[in-house]
Amino acid sequence: MLLCLTANHRNASFEILEKLSVGAPQAAGILVNDGDFVSGAVVLATCNRFEAYLEIDEPLTAATAVAVENSVQVISAASGIDPAALRETVTVLSGDDVAEHLFSVSSGLESVIVGEDEISGQVRRALEQARAAGTTSSALERLFQQAANTSREVKNQTAIGGAGRSLVRLGLELASSRIADWSATRVLIIGTGQYAATTVAALRDRGAEDVTVYSPSGRAARFALRLGLTASIDLVAALAAADVVITCTTTEAPVVSAAHLSPSAGNARRIVIDLGLPRNVHPDVATVAGTELLDLETISLHAPLEELTATTDARALVSSAASEFAATITEQQLTPSVVALRTHVFGLLETEIARARARGDEDGRVEAALRHLTGVLLHTPSVRARELARAGEAQSFSDAVTALFGIATSAATPAEETRGDLQA
């Protein structure tokens, strides 16, 4: 069975999301290696959400509740959040709801900026990290691969991402109301990751020409050379020379604080845009004269309203993909019954073919006729198995096979399906 524990910008404070983004990703290995029922875990931690996708075995009726409580305790210990506070914050999804939620997240429909560009890549990297750590499972692999397919369909078939919206671009849009001419604006970027590269592209779209980069990890020179920027190794000097500062690093402690800044001279104003989580900029920066701080919390308050048609179309695609995924999983639960039936029938077929050969079927006509007849006879039961599975009546098919042919078989549980995949 699939579970998802989710905390995001809608149900969690930025303080809790910060702590989760730092400590909780390591919880995946603990959950899989030390948990009683968790057989797979993929953790997605971004600036606006934390999600733990789990596959659990269900040897007990209360296995789901036990797995959820154990997961809360492990994540709490890893992130330093009080278990009671975390329990009140996270939303727990199970079964078919997990697929629809992940498909929606991966398509950008649950982001602060609906249709944002970055989230699908973050979902993909979460799976890659789980693979590297050995915490994924076949069921989670199927889930995340279908999520990637769904996000591509949403991007290609709807207008949800057409405007190229992202946190970076929204932050720059808010700053643009204070800036008369980007080409004359001195910009400092702190960070050299993917967000920094996205920021450079967005700045150039607005005509920014004077862009300097500083890296706490010392990677500024290489990043600047690759993108045609100026590199700085002196943070205080670079801050003093900048009109706009944009931070997007993965450091766990603030890189910029009030101590790094001097008050702006005259009527000059300095804008600091903090895109980092954990925060790259200490809140006391806002107390420095002439400095305006735009952090993620402030930016999220200005997120534009959803574009109704595009969002509706995208959600319809997500819902359809989730329904198809659920139906496929349900069909797979009948695989043991279908295989048992086919094995039984083909066993009878081979017996009759051997008998026909013994009676002189030298040209193989009887054998061909028997094989054709067997295929025709098995076609309808195979179709009905899929139909019954999708209608939630998988057990009735298994019961019918047992009653008619005396074959002891039963529908497999999702956990059994996963174990079978792993053994194959």
Tell me, yes or no, whether 213 lies in a domain: yes
130, 163, 196 — which closes off a domain? 163
Which letter does DSSP use for residue 36 in this model? Answer: S
Task: Say whether both 41 and 157 belong to one domain.
Answer: yes
163, 193, 225 — which closes off a domain? 163
Better-scored residue on pLDDT, 422 or 142: 142
28, 47, 98, 329: which one is catalytic? 47
pLDDT (tens digit, 9 = 90+) per residue, 352-361?
Answer: 999 888 888 8
Distances (CA, A) of 93 to 7, 65, 176, 177, 356: 11, 12, 40, 40, 57
CA 40 to chain centre: 15
Can you give the pLDDT at residue 409? 65
The whole model's pTM is what? 0.65
Task: Say whether both 224 and 106 belong to one domain.
Answer: no
Tell me, yes or no, whether 372 lies in a domain: yes
Tell me, yes or no, whether 175 lies in a domain: no
Q: Give the CATH number of the domain where residue 142 resides.
A: 3.30.460.30
Confidence of residue 99 (pLDDT cuts 50, 70, 90): very high
Task: Say whether both 230 and 153 belong to one domain.
Answer: no
Task: Say whether both 68 and 100 belong to one domain.
Answer: yes
Burial letters for 89-105: b for 16+ Cβ neighbours within 10 Å, e otherwise?
A: bbebbeebbbbbbbbbb
Tell me, yes or no, whether 341 lies in a domain: yes
pLDDT (tens digit, 9 = 90+) per residue, 249-292?
Answer: 888 889 999 999 988 766 678 999 998 878 999 999 999 999 99
Please enumerate in sequence order all residues whose Cβ is within 8 A of that of 37, keeping only pairs 6 or more positions apart, or say none: 56, 57, 58, 59, 63, 66, 67, 70
Q: Which of 263, 264, 272 is nearest to 292 (CA)?
A: 272
131, 163, 195 — which closes off a domain? 163
pLDDT (tens digit, 9 = 90+) per residue, 314-348?
Answer: 889 999 999 889 888 777 777 788 888 888 899 99
Can you give the pLDDT at residue 292? 94
Tell me, yes or no, whether 288 lies in a domain: yes
CA distance 363 to 80: 77
pLDDT (tens digit, 9 = 90+) per residue, 147-203?
Answer: 999 999 998 888 776 544 567 888 898 999 889 899 999 999 999 987 888 899 999
On average, the pLDDT of the chain sits at 85
Can you give the pLDDT at residue 115? 74
Strands annotated E in 75-172: 91-94
248 is annotated as an active-site residue = no
Structural domain including 409 reads: 333-419
